[in-house]
Structure 1
Amino acid sequence: MATAIISFRIPTEIKNSVKPILEANGMSVSELCQSVLEYVAETGNIPVKKELLSEEDRELVKLARERLSEIGSIPVKLEDL
């Protein structure tokens, strides 16, 4: 299998804090990155999320966005407010 080189930048503090954790688990930064990319290729899923939402919250946000995008008005009586 042919190989490719991927390069990326991260803050030095992050690299320095992660390296001993990975080494304690017998893994290098390169091996971790390769494992993550293999996981994505095999599953089609990303193993981390930048959002801090539960699946239920994500569904509620999706529903709210759908309803907000619908054309029309929402009948509301002043006494209901």
Structure 2
Amino acid sequence: MITLADFAGAERHGVHFSNGFADGNAFHALATIGELVEAGKFWLPVERTFPLADITEAHHASETGHVRGRLVLIVG
């Protein structure tokens, strides 16, 4: 389970949640990924971008199971 807002819900379901501050996992991972990106050894393919207003369309695209890269929402 991944949540952006329902931290209490994650706890009720026994899901470990890391905010990156308490255990430092996120900071370590970001530092490592940054090094790999700079070295050209890490990349994430982007299948398609959507303006935030088209979030419903993005969600439907993710449900098909045929996405070969990341779906990216553009905010702003």
For the criterion TM > 0.5, the same-fold answer is: no
TM-score (norm 1): 0.27
TM-score normalised to structure 2 length: 0.29
Q: Please tell me whether Structure 1 or Structure 2 has the larger radius of gyration of its CA atoms.
A: 1
Considering Cα pairs closer than 8 Å and 6+ residues apart, tell me whether 1 or 2 has the greater RCO: 2
